[in-house]
């Protein structure tokens, strides 16, 4: 079994090989391409160094977007990008873009990338593997004095975990109202973009048009347990689920917990409890891979001796089919209304953001399969239940994703390991 580090290096090298083949960018493994091997020890050292930025006592990271840890981690990665010979800048959305000239300036860039921001109490591999592998690809090309025909761009997307804010700004899917959404750092998206060196007032200028890129490729951990369970080396992503998130406000009436009889309460938290159970029931009521989650909930005023008059919680729905997400939301909103009426409370839903589902490109899927086969690696095609910047980039050109196994299928946890 190939050592995992060697695998990462050789697969990316194989993809480069196909990229630099004289033929146009076609799904054909070219035996003419030189076999390039990345410096896997250097890549692993970079992963370890980056894990120090926002390290938490549980062994993972809390490097949330727009935090001091995020900013410091980005500065570290920009140094690595410069060391890899990339011309580094920050776009108006706060994305880090490293550029490398190609031999034919008329050709559109091939873009590699991922993110380095994490969820609170996240792991050390989500996003960082793809970001630092992309830097290593550029570094290897430089060391081997290889000039690809296409220009190459290495991108570290801003605020992926909050909702693909950086990549959706580039794909033109970010709305002005979303700039006021509040991120885990406490800053609004607008404040965060400026904090990272972007220019939110000019975020529209970060937008790129379909056809502005030749292809986008992202290496990422699976964040699920299929590859490990099947002892398969590589996941070839067929498509990335759509994700929609709402902020849900349940309004009742705050009152004294001692003197308000049980049958005269408008208890917002009791209604919210029924809501959480109902979401689970509605989402599981039909066949398929759809998922629904209430990941955050807060009762106000939050005192033990006050009947909660208000609850704010989150609702997230995911599926490869946008119409199914809408159907599930309509069913949930209808049932929430009935819960509210039965308890003298009301439900309001505020849309936060939407990641549109995105299929990967068949030609790139074939190229990944050929490259992996040539390296003696096993593959399987699979959907991504996690969201990725690649789904935003699919709006601009052919997209591909390469998954590597997650031990125990664990992710968004300090126990994450690949
Ligand atoms: O939430 C997700 O699916 C991704 O990890 N941002
Ligand atoms: Mn990720
Ligand atoms: Mn993630």
| Average pLDDT of the segment spanning 222-243 | 97
Sequence-ordered list of residues with C-beta below 8 angstroms from that of 57, at least 6 positions apart, any chain: none
Ligand 3 midpoint to CA 159 (Å): 10
What torsion, rounded to 10 degrees, do the Cα atoms 194, 200, 205, 211 define? 80
Burial of 31: CB neighbours in 10 Å, binned 0-12, 13-18, 19+: exposed
Between CA 406 and CA 194, with CA 121 as vertex, the angle to 5 degrees is: 110
pLDDT of residue 33: 59
Local structure of 147: helix, strand or coil? coil
* Mutate-to-test residue for ligand 1 from 223, 290, 391, highest number of ligand atoms within 8 A of CB: 223
Closest to 364 measured CA to CA, from 385, 321, 394, 392 = 394
Closest CA to 367 of 393, 400, 403: 400
Looking at the chain, the whole-number percentage of residues with pLDDT higher than 90 is: 91
CA of 130 to the centre of ligand 1 (A): 14
Q: How far apart are CA 404 and CA 5, in angstroms?
A: 11
Euclidean distance between CA atoms 154 and 24, whole angstroms: 21
DSSP annotation of 356 reads P
Give 290-319 pLDDT, tens digit per residue.
Answer: 999 999 999 999 999 999 999 999 999 999
| 365-380 core/surface letters (b: 16 or more CB in 10 A; e: else) | bbbbbbbbebbebebe
* 160 CB near ligand 1 (under 6 Å): yes
Å from CA of 389 to ligand 2 middle: 8
User: Which residue's alpha carbon is nearest to atom 3 within ligand 1?
Assistant: 386
Burial class (CB in 10 A: 0-12, 13-18, 19+), 111: buried
Instruction: Please determine, for residue 175, whether its predicted confidence score (pLDDT) is greater than 90.
Output: yes
Instruction: Provide the 3-class DSSP secondary structure of residue 68.
Output: helix
pLDDT band with cut points at 50, 70 and 90 for residue 12: low
384, 291 contact by CB (below 8 A): no
Q: Which residue has the higher pLDDT, 40 or 22?
A: 40
- pLDDT (0 to 100) of residue 13: 52
* 127 C-beta neighbours (distance < 10 Å), count: 27
Ligand nearest to the CA of 240: 1
- The string of pLDDT tens digits covering residues 23-57 is 344 433 344 456 788 999 999 999 999 999 999 99
* C-beta of 242 in contact with ligand 1 (< 6 A): no
- CB 153 near ligand 1, within 6 Å: no
Q: Answer for the pair 111, 216: CB distance below 8 angstroms, yes or no.
A: yes
Predicted confidence at residue 379, as pLDDT, reads: 98
> What is the length of the chain?
418
Q: Are strands 358-359 and 234-240 parallel, antiparallel or unpaired?
A: antiparallel
- 252: helix, coil or strand? coil
Instruction: Give 243 Cα–ligand 3 centroid separation in angstroms.
Output: 13
* CA of 115, closest atom in ligand 1: 6
CA-closest candidate to residue 108, choices 198, 234, 208, 13 = 208
DSSP label at residue 200: G
Measure the CA angle with vertex 312, ends 307 and 316; round to 5°: 140
What is the phi/psi pair of residue 146, to 5°? -100, 130
Q: Which of 129, 184, 386 to mutate to test the pocket of ligand 1 (most atoms within 8 A of CB)?
A: 386
Model pLDDT for residues 114-155, shown as the tens digit of each residue? 999 999 999 999 999 999 999 999 999 999 999 999 999 999
Ligand of minimum distance to the alpha carbon of 119: 3
- What 3-state class would DSSP assign to 67? coil
163 CA closest ligand 1 atom index: 6
- Banded model confidence at residue 21, pLDDT cuts 50, 70, 90: very low
Q: Which atom of ligand 1 is nearest to the CA of 161?
A: 6
**Average pLDDT for residues 315-332, to the nearest whole number?**
97
Report CA(413)–ligand 3 centroid distance (Å): 10
Distance separating alpha carbons of residues 347 and 168, to the nearest angstrom = 29
Q: What residues have CB less than 8 Å from 133, skipping those under 6 apart?
A: 8, 12, 38, 43, 112, 219
365-390 per-position pLDDT tens digit: 999 999 999 999 999 999 999 999 99
Does 117 sit in the ligand 1 pocket, CB within 6 Å?
Answer: no
Q: Of all protein residues, whose CA lies closest to atom 6 belonging to ligand 1?
A: 161
Whole-number pLDDT of residue 218? 98
Can you give the pTM of this predicted structure?
0.87
Q: Check pocket membership of 386 for ligand 1, CB cut-off 6 A.
A: yes
- Choosing from 60, 61, 63, 119 the residue with most ligand 1 atoms within 8 A of its CB, the one to mutate for a pocket test is 119
Per-residue pLDDT tens digits for 59-103: 999 999 999 999 999 999 999 999 999 999 999 999 999 999 999
Q: How confident is the model at residue 179 (pLDDT cuts 50, 70, 90)?
A: very high
pLDDT for 35? 75
pLDDT of residue 284: 98
């Amino acid at each position: 079994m190939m050592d995992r580090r060697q695998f990462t290096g050789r697969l990316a090298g194989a993809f480069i090989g196909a990229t630099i083949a004289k033929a146009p960018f076609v799904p054909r493994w070219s035996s003419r391409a030189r076999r390039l091997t990345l410096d896997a020890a250097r890549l692993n050292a970079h992963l370890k160094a980056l894990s120090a930025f926002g390290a938490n006592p549980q062994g993972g990271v809390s490097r949330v977007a727009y935090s001091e840890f995020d900013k410091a981690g980005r500065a570290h990665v920009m140094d690595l990008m410069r060391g890899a010979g990339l011309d580094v800048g920050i776009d108006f959305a706060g994305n880090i873009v490293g550029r490398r000239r190609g031999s034919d300036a008329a050709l559109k860039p091939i873009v590699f990338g991922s993110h380095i921001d994490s969820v609170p109490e996240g792991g050390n591999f989500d996003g960082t593997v793809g970001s630092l592998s992309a830097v290593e690809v550029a570094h290897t090309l430089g060391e081997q004095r290889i000039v690809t025909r296409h220009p190459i761009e290495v991108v570290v997307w801003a605020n992926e975990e909050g909702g693909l804010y950086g990549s959706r700004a580039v794909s033109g899917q970010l709305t002005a109202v979303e700039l006021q959404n509040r991120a885990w750092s406490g800053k609004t998206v607008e404040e965060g973009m400026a904090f990272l060196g972007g220019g939110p007032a000019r975020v529209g200028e970060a937008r790129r048009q379909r056809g502005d890129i030749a292809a986008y490729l992202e290496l990422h951990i699976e964040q699920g347990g299929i590859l490990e369970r099947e002892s398969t080396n590589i996941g070839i992503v067929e498509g990335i689920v759509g994700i929609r998130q709402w902020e849900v406000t349940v309004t009742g009436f705050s009152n004294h917990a001692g003197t308000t009889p049980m049958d005269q309460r408008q208890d917002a938290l009791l209604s919210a409890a029924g809501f959480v159970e109902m979401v689970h029931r509605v989402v599981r009521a039909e066949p398929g891979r759809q998922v629904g989650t209430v990941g955050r909930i807060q009762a106000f005023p939050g005192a033990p001796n006050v009947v909660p008059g208000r609850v704010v919680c989150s609702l997230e729905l995911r599926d490869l089919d946008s119409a199914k997400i809408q159907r599930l939301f309509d069913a949930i909103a209808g049932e929430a209304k009935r819960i509210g009426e039965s308890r003298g409370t009301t439900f309001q839903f505020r849309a936060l953001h939407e990641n549109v589902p995105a299929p990967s490109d068949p030609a790139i899927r074939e190229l990944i399969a050929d490259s992996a086969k040539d390296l003696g690696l096993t593959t399987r095609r699979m959907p991504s239940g996690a969201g990725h910047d690649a789904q935003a980039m699919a709006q601009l050109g052919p997209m591909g994703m390469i998954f590597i196994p997650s031990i125990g299928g664990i992710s968004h946890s300090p126990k994450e390991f690949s």
